[in-house]
Amino acid sequence: MKNCEYQQIEPQALPTPAPTPPPPPHHGNDTDKKKESKRPRRKWEVFPGKNRFCCDGRIMVARQSGVLPLTLGLILVTSVLFFIFDCPFLVKHLTSCIPAIGGVLFVFVVITLLQTSFTDPGILPRATPEEAADIERQIDNTGNTSYRPPPRTKEVLINQQVVKLKYCFTCKMFRPPRTSHCSLCDNCVERFDHHCPWVGNCVGKRNYRFFYTFIVSLSFLTAFIFGCVTTHLALRAQGGKGLVFALQESPGSAVELVICFFSVWSILGLSGFHTYLVASNLTTNEDIKGSWSGKSGEDVTNPYSHKNIFINCCSVLCAPIPPSLIDRRGFLPADESVQTGGAAIELAAKSEINVCTQGTKGLLESAALSPLLSTSCPQGKPQTAHPCSDNSPAVNSDPSPELSKSCGSHHTTRSHGNTSRSKKCKQAALHIPNPAFEASFSPNPPDSDPGSKASGCKGTSFNPLH
């Protein structure tokens, strides 16, 4: 047929630009995506760490908060039994101040516990792709990124003391002094003390004072209840009636006695230890590692100490609380939430494949590539920092986008409902060997407390990541 002549049509000659048709298999997803992308997303929804967010980002806890209900339960049970079984007797025989003091201590304990658990401990947001590229440019002179470079450190002089700053491969920045990466929460935390499973959160710069108040008031409460129960039973057993008779009359007191007896030593020990740390302006992490104790034989002193116990205490407990740096309730910039459709899906898929198949190498490459990506199609830091969880809305055909708004949900729930691709991706991301892990293995309250809590702490903290 002679008239089959093919001519190249100039795109500029077209009267109206044709909209890019969505690829058929993704059609359903794309429509959903556009609807979803119109809803402004908050930053907590794309947070790369392993935290859970409730109440639209107002409350946050670590992913592994399994023992927090136990802690709360023990405190509630003991206190309720105290008010039911011991207070009436003691009010009649001694003074009515007892339930008042007990009540105040109980309220203090519960409030400070909840604040420790739900407050941002001082999480440092991960570096933006441009920052990461800038740092990489400055230190990577060889240009060879085909293997993981050796751990990078930078030395600074603080109060005439040499301090080494380590490079965090996950957060892509040099960690400020006293900052450590918690492997359980997958975040760098400022002034990292330890990850406390009993509280279900890291203890860091912003919530250390809540934690300290919690353990001090808990030790007072435990000692107070222990003392009151002992007095109560002693008074009942008077007149030759015997302890067994007293316990039969007040069975709740037996439970309280057991709980308080076993916990008062460890809690008192912990309070004492942390009082020492506060007075010398040390963190549990530094104390365990012996950073400033001069074990290496050099003349090292703690450069952060003010050399005065009172000033140290004030600076740790009464200093102004810095604000949360992660801005979890802030909205993502409009261009990021709109551009999660179309071409962005393909780019995201490409970067996701990079991470999945190449692991660490992919992370480094994506850090180098991301400045190019961000200039051509700005996707923002969450895309490269954690491509899996950010990409999951694109692939996820979850029935309820509203689920993310309700209490108790967290961004990783989306990835659970996902295809195996993102599951593999998640596993790859988790199995990336992280030198930060050795450096910041999130030490628990030290071995000074002999009770079962110590073994409990160790057990839960070294749970394999899942």
Token couple for 234: 């002693």
Q: Give the nearest distance from C-beta 448 to another protein in angstroms.
A: 25
The residue (of 127 and 270) whose beta carbon lies closer to another protein is 127
CA distance 88 to 109: 22
The residue (of 205 and 426) whose beta carbon lies closer to another protein is 205
Task: Judge whether 199 and 210 are in contact, CB under 8 Å.
Answer: no
201, 205, 172: which is closest to 191 by C-alpha?
205
Task: Judge whether 149 and 169 are in contact, CB under 8 Å.
Answer: no
Q: State the catalytic residue, choosing from 196, 228, 260, 457.
A: 196
The residue (of 46 and 173) whose beta carbon lies closer to another protein is 173
Q: Give the nearest distance from C-beta 52 to another protein in angstroms.
A: 21
The residue (of 74 and 325) whose beta carbon lies closer to another protein is 325
The residue (of 85 and 210) whose beta carbon lies closer to another protein is 210
Token couple for 148: 């993981």
Sign of CA pseudo-dihedral 290, 293, 297, 299: positive
The residue (of 154 and 458) whose beta carbon lies closer to another protein is 154
CA distance 102 to 218: 11
385, 382, 463, 439: which is closest to 192 by C-alpha?
439
Q: Give the nearest distance from C-beta 103 to another protein in angstroms.
A: 13
For the chain, percent helix, then strand, then coil, each to nearest 5?
Answer: 55, 10, 40
E runs forming strands in 407-455: none
3 state DSSP class of 249: helix
Task: Tell the residue number behind the tokens 């030759």, with chain if given.
Answer: 240
Token couple for 117: 């658990």
Give contact residues for another protein (rule: CB under 8 A).
12, 15, 107-108, 111-112, 115, 124-125, 127-128, 130-131, 134, 156-159, 163, 165, 173, 176-178, 191, 209-210, 213, 303-304, 311, 314-315, 317-323, 325-327, 375
The residue (of 29 and 213) whose beta carbon lies closer to another protein is 213
3 state DSSP class of 124: strand
Token couple for 288: 């365990």
Polymer length of the chain: 466
CA distance 246 to 232: 9
Q: Give the nearest distance from C-beta 316 to another protein in angstroms.
A: 10
Task: Judge whether 452 and 262 are in contact, CB under 8 Å.
Answer: yes
CA distance 55 to 58: 6
Q: Give the nearest distance from C-beta 130 to another protein in angstroms.
A: 5
Q: Give the nearest distance from C-beta 424 to another protein in angstroms.
A: 30
The residue (of 362 and 371) whose beta carbon lies closer to another protein is 371
User: DSSP string spanning 274-322?
Assistant: HHHHHHTT--HHHHHHTTTTTTTSS----TT--S-HHHHHHHHHSSPPP
Q: Give the nearest distance from C-beta 300 to another protein in angstroms.
A: 16
Q: CB 95: neighbour CB atoms within 10 A?
A: 11
Q: Give the nearest distance from C-beta 9 to another protein in angstroms.
A: 14
Task: Judge whether 173 and 263 are in contact, CB under 8 Å.
Answer: no
Q: Catalytic site residue 196?
A: yes
Active site residues: 196
